[in-house]
Structure 1
């Protein structure tokens, strides 16, 4: 009997590796999805049939691209068919509880408000999904952390968004709004009215305010960061409409090379921003009480404890983590408020009675004087309007979670590895919760608060729910109230005949073709 040679051993090992890999791939792209599909159907959950490797991603991408080619036929708050035509087709055909396929992963849509709340408050089983490392680059920092690290970072950052801290940075909100209003007044000049696309001004305003209030800088200083983040968004959006292949980001494709260059440039700009603040602190400059100060203080604690125990080293953030949090808030802080403002201006243009009521409240509270925190907190009509806008036009039209083990949700048994989606948009206009006028703009429904408006149905969550609820909610609401109040003090406005109603989702819900308003001087 011959002794096995080294070559034969290596060949045998290679065959074992190849066969094992083939089995894993076949299980990933076919056996497991088909097993999960059967599991879901046996529970009475309808859905699409699994298609090898791509699932429904090709159909999803094609239908979205087709929908964006034409605007809506007139103005309507029922824009779901345009922003998510695949899901609209399924909801119309089989109901609001169903599953589709993101590649080889089932995405299970849950519409019951009680189950949504149960899932969003259960961080142990329902985790933030890591769909794609390229998309994750847009949302680094604590929003993607889990467990103790998430809790530690959230605890560090939260004080920067408490009402008492936000009062201290209110002048930054005001300065940003004054700059935008001044531009509008110069554009109007001696004219009584003027048509203006307000969307780019609102994105600049939100960028300016987050720069001033969170980082103690200005829009001009942060402009490069915002422009780079916009370009990164375009690249990330392209990857979201296709199946992500593990390891693909390491291949030096043109988009991957550009993404790496963008990351390096943002790193350089944030380093410059942080070093500038370091010099100010060392020079004994007065504290600014902003987000960057909070992050820098945390980093200082981390540095001080570097020589201590492993436990002590978790007291603060390292420099890379500080940069990740800066990038997160530059992106999310700008996008969330700008879309809230733009949809509010659109709806107040359509509903002149509510525009008049909001203006009357602002003038009764402030006259034409400078706004203050106490007055802003007492603008009840304004709050009702903003809640109704958030109900009809939430910044994110759905929330996603991933489960890593077989998980019970109500009477459902969900398979490990699945994505679970919660349709914010549909839940917030479900006629069972909101009545037959759910698609109509009626801020009066919030006259007695959110709980009364929903009938206790847990069907209003534009900023999320549970422990992971958006940390910047108060920031966004104060900025929106400040900007809208200052606009209402100086202008009336209506939609231009040139305005085309075309909501679209680019991470957040925004107008595809801008927002042309006719501004009138008061």
Structure 2
């Protein structure tokens, strides 16, 4: 009888010992990940002459970033009308990325800083960017925060994955966006755009010939319709809820601070909304997939993704760390998001710039009218639109949809004379490179499509400094689709309409995972 209490005490002591031991191991893990590992990574680069701001424990340089950005915003006057947009120059990186510009001035074109426990090796040197672009090994992969902190939006799709998973995804998806294949989508793009323009025409009739239109919203719907029909065999109306929820999810994700472990697991209102949306989007995409499997319909991108998922044999693949359903859903989310959001935003920025610079609007319209001769554009006509191409390239230079090229050293890698240690994140701020006066000239902050008259080689001292679609093996697989889609949309709009900035327009580029107009883009539209 006496043995039972003794045994109970032993059990309790054992449980307490295990608990305390686990707690100690947990704190040791935190200390290693939050303090020792970041310190080792920084020290490795500091020994090679790469300096940077001193970080704090847990938060890294986050407090300093917020302070610098707040000071930059306080120095920036508000903008609202046409004269502001033309006169202030398009130097939004001086506000949005003010911390990087300040550190570049203090520490040189390459420096190191921290976001929580994530260490960034930031590169604004064009020659070093070239090294990143020609590095083809899988040892330089995507940052893990894309699939973790941004996981609800990107998961382990082609945008955020690395290694064998990414290689398999690229093999499936990239061929669907080859130039010859995209050329075959032109008539579909024309049909979708024409439908949107009919809505604009009706608005003009109802509003006395001039309408104030928030073009970025309509362009999102249009781009969503194009990507839905071209890649998923359905109309925008069928996927409208998915696009809407992805847009809401994008806004919520932009509020997340990366680099602080377990922050994404805390049940804040923002996180709870993210978790709910992630589940809803997952279920909605699988519903679309189920409908496709019941009625086979051609060989579009969705079918290629479904065929690629057969690689997993319909079951989990522990060696790759991703399930069949997750493979399908994550890649659909990536295409839905990247395939319509970035193109729509770029088209909106182009219309804003053409509204602000009417001489260029006239030049592009005259070129389109001369080439199309009153008809609709085809693939060959689009290739002949040189002035329009210049305008698109200059817009992508000033307002690239992606702010960073981001990589992670999955093993120690050599970039020129710098050994980048395993675990270090490599970051290239695209917009800073695009507005470097040493590379682009003293008018680097101005809208001047003429700089591209002789192509990228004639526009910049180092062509590797123009990277709106990324660099190297991870360059955007949809760049041909984006360029042709932009040409179709803009040529049809310019044929039918002329436009100016609305008095209500507020120039406010903001970083919400992509560079977008925080208050939208309102234009006054009328018939040509």
Q: TM-score, normalised by structure 2?
A: 0.87
Which residue in 2 is equivalent to 1:131?
145
Instruction: Structure 2 unaligned segments of length 5 or more: list them.
Output: 1-9
Which residue in 2 is equivalent to 1:178?
194
Q: 8 Å contact 1:97–1:108 — kept in the other structure?
A: yes
**Once the 2 structures are TM-superposed, how far is the Cα of residue 12 of structure 1 from its aligned partner?**
6.2
Which residue in 1 is equivalent to 2:295?
280
Instruction: Structure 1 unaligned segments of length 5 or more: list them.
Output: none
Residue of 450, 472, 496 corresponding to 1:444: 450
Q: 8 Å contact 2:152–2:274 — kept in the other structure?
A: no
Q: Within the alignment, does 1:146 sit opposite 2:152 as a pair?
A: no
Q: 8 Å contact 1:37–1:50 — kept in the other structure?
A: no
Equivalents in 2 of 1:345, 1:306: separation in Å?
Answer: 46
Distance 1:416 1:333, change over 3 A: same
Equivalents in 2 of 1:251, 1:27: separation in Å?
Answer: 21
Question: 1:458-508 CA distances to partner (integer Å, 9 max, x unpaired)?
Answer: 111110111111011111111110110011001111222322211001111
Equivalents in 2 of 1:9, 1:296: separation in Å?
Answer: 50
SS of residue paired to 1:422: strand
Question: 1:325-359 CA distances to partner (integer Å, 9 max, x unpaired)?
Answer: 11111111111101110111111112222111111
SS of residue paired to 1:158: helix
Equivalents in 1 of 2:23, 2:502: separation in Å?
Answer: 64
Equivalents in 2 of 1:368, 1:464: separation in Å?
Answer: 36
Q: 8 Å contact 1:193–1:519 — kept in the other structure?
A: yes
SS of residue paired to 2:261: coil
Equivalents in 2 of 1:331, 1:337: separation in Å?
Answer: 10
Matches within 5 A, 1:40-79: 40-61=45-66, 64=69, 72-73=78-79, 74-75=84-85, 76-79=89-92
Residue of 185, 201, 224 corresponding to 2:218: 201
Equivalents in 2 of 1:68, 1:218: separation in Å?
Answer: 41
**Once the 2 structures are TM-superposed, how far is the Cα of residue 130 of structure 1 from its aligned partner?**
1.2
SS of residue paired to 2:445: coil
Q: Higher mean Cα deviation, 59-68 or 216-225? A: 59-68
**Once the 2 structures are TM-superposed, how far is the Cα of residue 68 of structure 1 from its aligned partner?**
6.9
Matches within 5 A, 1:434-513: 434-513=440-519
Equivalents in 1 of 2:301, 2:384: separation in Å?
Answer: 25
Equivalents in 2 of 1:202, 1:39: separation in Å?
Answer: 47
SS of residue paired to 2:426: strand
What is the count of residue pairs matched by the alignment?
506
Q: 8 Å contact 2:120–2:427 — kept in the other structure?
A: yes
Residue of 220, 231, 252 corresponding to 1:214: 231
**Once the 2 structures are TM-superposed, how far is the Cα of residue 46 of structure 1 from its aligned partner?**
2.8
SS of residue paired to 2:392: helix
Question: 1:85-113 CA distances to partner (integer Å, 9 max, x unpaired)?
Answer: 32233234444322221112321211122
Matches within 5 A, 1:245-260: 245-246=261-262, 248-250=263-265, 252-260=267-275
Q: Higher mean Cα deviation, 253-262 or 142-151? A: 253-262
Q: Within the alignment, does 1:268 sit opposite 2:319 as a pair?
A: no
Residue of 245, 249, 252 corresponding to 1:232: 249
Q: 8 Å contact 1:58–1:242 — kept in the other structure?
A: no
Question: 1:134-154 CA distances to partner (integer Å, 9 max, x unpaired)?
Answer: 412212312223223222221
Q: Higher mean Cα deviation, 218-227 or 185-194? A: 185-194
Equivalents in 2 of 1:274, 1:268: separation in Å?
Answer: 10
Equivalents in 1 of 2:252, 2:524: separation in Å?
Answer: 34
Which residue in 2 is equivalent to 1:116?
129
Equivalents in 2 of 1:306, 1:194: separation in Å?
Answer: 52
Which residue in 1 is equivalent to 2:7?
none
| Backbone CA RMSD of aligned residues | 3.0
Distance 1:72 1:291, change over 3 A: farther
